Amino acid sequence: MLYFLTELKEGLSISFRSIRANKMRSVLTTLGIIIGIWAVTVMATAIEGVNIAFDKSAEAFGTDVLYIQKFPWVSNEDWQTIRNRPNLKTHYADKIERHASLIEAVAPVVATRRRATYGNNAIEDPMISGTTNAYLFAAGVTLEDGRFFTEEESKGGRPVCAIGATVVENLFPREDPIGKTIRVAGHPYTVLGFFEKQGGLFGEFTSDTRIYIPLLSFQSHFGIGKHRHVTIQVRVADQESMEDAKMELEGIMRKVRRLSPGDRDNFNINQQELLTDTFDPISATIAAIGLFITGLSLLVGGVGIMNIMFMSVTERTKEIGIRKAIGAPKRTILLQFLIEAASLCVIGGVIGLFVAYVTSLIVDQFLPTSMPIVVVFIAIAISISVGVIAGFLPAYRAAKMDPVEALRHE
């Protein structure tokens, strides 16, 4: 054990002396590993970042919220059949509220795009969502300030609204929006409150770009014809009984829709899980392909290391001969060159990691990234492995050299 440590120390000092003696060559060789580790790490970081961003974004849909809609979010079903389904009606929400026992709140939501203005400020086409006062509880969203509309305001079809964070940024860059009256397609609406910023990849679906108004106001200004898509948003009381709640809702909806036992559902109950379930295999495939391609650059780097190690062994034949004559066993010579190759790779790996970290900070301005600490350890482990694998053949050649031949070498 002690001998091994001495050997390791000696191996390290030899390799650093040799690396220093061939600075230019070492730098160029290491560059291959730097680029390889950089590419792999940046790729891993980007994939991890997108995954985290996706999960965070998907949370905007609420883990305990069900969306009853005409169309499924993700489907392999024949478009022809689902296209001909009847539209949902806003009054389904009342039926669900009356009959469902496992739910916390239910709210119908209809939406359209209209221009909204305040003074000279405008936002081109935010989602105008008509809903009831129950929405606040059904969606599980949080107000940053102010309040949502009350049951009275909702039932009375009052010209009031609650707005998302992006809408606030556009219409009220330097003002408190509460109490101000904005115009939505010319109709005045008084702002009661605004939401926290949700961010993420699904800007369209978050509250950020939305203006919520009472359902009745929506009906009178924009109309709820038979072609308007209606979403019934339901928040379950207990996330544990999500599946039961779903079954219950399906039963109520089938009754409302007067479906016979043999008929297939002509609506869908969507939930966040559908998105993550769909996204995960896609992201895994992207990750596999991405890491494979970037892994190739690491492989090229490894080939570079192997090449330089073969050169180094040939150049130092005499030295190997001297060491062998003096009594270095095969294992020591092997270890010495393996350490040298691994040192080159680890130096490259650390620099590559550092460059990747800087890159990820820059990329983070445009795309979400995340460098987990485990990636750091994996990258270092990969560097050492590449060094050991690439260094093995040259080191083995050095180890099995004939001392007489090696000493004769000039």
Partner 1 sequence: MRNVIELRSIVKTYDMGGVEAVHALQNVSLTIQSNEYLAIMGPSGSGKSTLMNIIGCLDTPTSGMYEFNGINVSEMDDNELAKIRNKEIGFVFQTFNLLARSDALHNVELPLIYAGVSATERRRRAKQTLEHVQLGDRIHHKPNELSGGQRQRVAVARALVTNPSIILADEPTGNLDTKTGKEIMKLIEDLHHQGNTIVLVTHEGYIAEHAHRIIHLLDGKVESDEKVLKRKTYTVPQVS
- x-or-dash pattern for partner 1, window 287-326, by CB under 8 A? -------------------------------xx-xxxxxx
Is 397 among the residues that bind partner 1 (CB under 8 A)?
no
Among 123, 328, 356, 371, the residue binding partner 1 under the rule CB under 8 A is: 328
Q: What is the rounded radius of gyration, in angstroms, for the C-alpha atoms of the chain? A: 33
Is 173 a residue that touches partner 1 (CB under 8 A)?
no
How many residues are given for the chain? 410
In the complex, what is the shortest distance from the CB of residue 13 to partner 1, in angstroms, rounded to a whole number?
A: 9
Report the alpha-carbon distance of residue 295 to residue 388 in Å, rounded. Answer: 16
CA distance 270 to 66: 6
- Please say which residue, 255 or 331, places its beta carbon nearer to partner 1: 331
Question: Min. distance of Cβ 375 from partner 1 in angstroms?
Answer: 37
Q: Which is nearer to partner 1, 179 or 327 (CB)?
A: 327
Least distance to partner 1, CB of residue 340, Å: 13
**Least distance in Å: CB of 32 to partner 1?**
25
Q: How far apart are CA 189 and CA 163, in angstroms?
A: 11
Tell me the site size for partner 1, rule CB under 8 A: 26
Give me the helices (H) in 22-101, please.
Answer: 23-59, 79-83, 92-99
Q: How far is the CB of 18 from partner 1 (least distance, A)?
A: 8
Q: Which is nearer to partner 1, 272 or 332 (CB)?
A: 332
Give the end-to-end CA distance of the chain in Å, rounded to a whole number: 35
DSSP, residue by residue, 306-362 = HHHHHHHHHHTHHHHHHHHHHT--HHHHHHHHHHHHHHHHHHHHHHHHHHHHHHHHH
Residue with tokens 């924009």: 222
Comparing CB distances to partner 1, the nearer of 332 and 369 is: 332
Please report the DSSP string for 109-129 in residue order: EEEEE--EEETTEEESS-EEE
Which lies closer to partner 1 via its Cβ, residue 191 or residue 335?
Answer: 335
Q: Which of 329, 367, 372, 385 binds partner 1 (CB under 8 A)?
A: 329
Query: Measured over all CA atoms, what is the biggest interatomic distance in the chain, rounded to whole angstroms?
Result: 103
**Contacts with partner 1 in 6-65 (CB under 8 A)?**
6-7, 10, 17-18, 21
The 10 Å CB-count burial string (b at 16+, else e) for 17-44 is ebbeeeeeebeebbebbbbbbbbbbbbb
The Cα–Cα gap between 180 and 161 comes to: 10
Distance CA 153, CA 135 (A): 13
Return the range that interacts with partner 1 (CB under 8 A); candidates 35-43, 153-161, 190-198, 396-404.
396-404
Q: Is 3 in the site for partner 1 (CB under 8 A)?
A: yes
Closest distance to partner 1 from the beta carbon of 36 (Å): 29
Q: Which is nearer to partner 1, 146 or 403 (CB)?
A: 403
Q: Which of 146, 199, 203, 403 binds partner 1 (CB under 8 A)?
A: 403
The interface region with partner 1, picked from 5-13, 59-67, 189-197, 224-232 by CB under 8 A, is 5-13
Stretch that binds partner 1, among 1-9, 26-34, 184-192, 246-254 (CB under 8 A): 1-9
Closest CA to 197 of 81, 60, 77, 296: 60
Reported as half-sphere exposure (CB side, CA atoms, 13 A), residue 372 has a value of 11
Task: Please state the closest distance from residue 17 (CB atom) to partner 1, in A.
Answer: 5
Closer residue to partner 1, CB minimum distance, 16 or 205: 16
- In angstroms, the CA 217 to CA 270 distance is 27
Q: Pick the binder of partner 1 from 292, 330, 358, 381 (CB under 8 A).
A: 330
Query: Least distance in Å: CB of 399 to partner 1?
Result: 9
Residue 267 DSSP class: S
Helix, strand, coil shares of the chain, percent, nearest 5, are 60, 15, 25
Q: For strands 65-69 and 268-271, give the pairing.
A: antiparallel
Block residue for tokens 């990969």: 382
Residues making contact with partner 1 (CB under 8 A): 2-3, 6-7, 10, 17-18, 21, 318-319, 321-332, 402-404, 407
